[in-house]
A = this chain, B = another copy of it.
Amino acid sequence: MNVLIVYAHPEPRSLNGALRDFAVAHLQAAGHTVQVSDLYAMNWKPALDAHDMIERSPDARFDPALDSKRAYENGAQREDIAREQDKLKWADTVILQFPLWWFSMPAIMKGWVERVYAYGFAYGVGEHSDRHWGDRYGEGSLAGKRAMVIVTTGGWESHYSARGINGPIDDVLFPIHHGILYYPGFDVLPPFVVYRAQRMDEARFAETRAALGKRLDELDTTPPIPFRRQNAGDYEIPALTLKPDIAPGKVGFAAHLAA
């Protein structure tokens, strides 16, 4: 299996760095081929802007979506963007690994998403009609591939529990799981979360490694999060609201999971 790890931490001698090294070695030992996009080491350009497209008239008004579309269609994307798209096409499984900073991914990884997810590649794909609202949320260029988040937090597990002050971890990660990974077609596996990352002793580090190894061994068989497919009958189109008989009375992120 081909595995792409997109990784964002500024210090290789960190817990994240150690878990990344462990994951690469573990996957390779199991016979998989691994590529790592180490965004800090690559000095990844985080900000999407007009410089991402070559052959642009410098005075033309920049439209992030439409310029991205033109560049993707015409081979006028910057090399670093095209290279990451190729890695995504190559991968069977994509892992996003990062520390949770301010309840989301680090800026450098957010910028990877914004720049690599071109219009025509990750969105704006497929037919828009009164029965099909684009190939997204269960369909799309990346359909058939799997994705998983590996994330570390400073806070405790209880802080991210159903009634914890930070919000439930599944809700905190929903914009990433559903909005960034499921959107272009990935089957999204439950995340691997390491809480209290600042308080890691040898014993817990060994346990964490073992638990991660198990998750990596099961990448191919773990049931994905059962998000509802947009174009398979659960949603009104174009309102894209759940039909009244689907999860009646339920609201919020959890309503988009099949029972």
Q: List residues of A whose CB falls within 8 A of some B CB.
A: 10-11, 13-14, 40, 44, 46-50, 61-65, 99, 101-104, 106-108, 110-111, 113-114, 117, 137, 154-156, 158-159, 161-168, 171-172, 174-175, 178-180, 198, 230, 235, 238-242, 250-256
Q: Are A102 and B238 in contact (CB under 8 A)?
A: no
Query: Taking each of A107, A113, A242, A253, which has the highest tally of chain B beta carbons within 10 Å of its own beta carbon?
Result: A107
Question: What's the minimum C-beta distance from A171 to chain B, rounded to whole angstroms?
Answer: 6
Known: A240-B165, A241-B165. A48 touches B256 (CB 8 A): no
Count of this chain's copies in the oligomeric assembly: 2
Q: Are B167 and A178 in contact (CB under 8 A)?
A: yes
Q: Are B235 and A165 in contact (CB under 8 A)?
A: yes
A253 contacts across to B, CB distance below 8 A: 167, 171, 252
Q: How far is it, in angstroms, between the C-alpha of A114 and the C-alpha of B99 when the chains are bound?
A: 12
A61 contacts across to B, CB distance below 8 A: 11, 13-14
Q: Are B101 and A171 in contact (CB under 8 A)?
A: no
Q: List 9 A-B contacts (CB under 8 A).
A: A102-B113, A103-B175, A108-B111, A110-B110, A162-B251, A164-B241, A166-B240, A167-B179, A175-B175
Q: Are A252 and B137 in contact (CB under 8 A)?
A: no
Known: A102-B114, A252-B162. A107 touches B10 (CB 8 A): no
A162 contacts across to B, CB distance below 8 A: 251-252
Q: Are A117 and B102 in contact (CB under 8 A)?
A: yes
Q: Are A107 and B104 in contact (CB under 8 A)?
A: no
A252 contacts across to B, CB distance below 8 A: 162, 167-168, 171, 252-254
Question: What's the minimum C-beta distance from A80 to chain B, rounded to whole angstroms?
Answer: 14
A106 contacts across to B, CB distance below 8 A: 47-48, 110, 114
A10 contacts across to B, CB distance below 8 A: 47-50, 62, 64
A254 contacts across to B, CB distance below 8 A: 252
A240 contacts across to B, CB distance below 8 A: 155-156, 158-159, 164-166
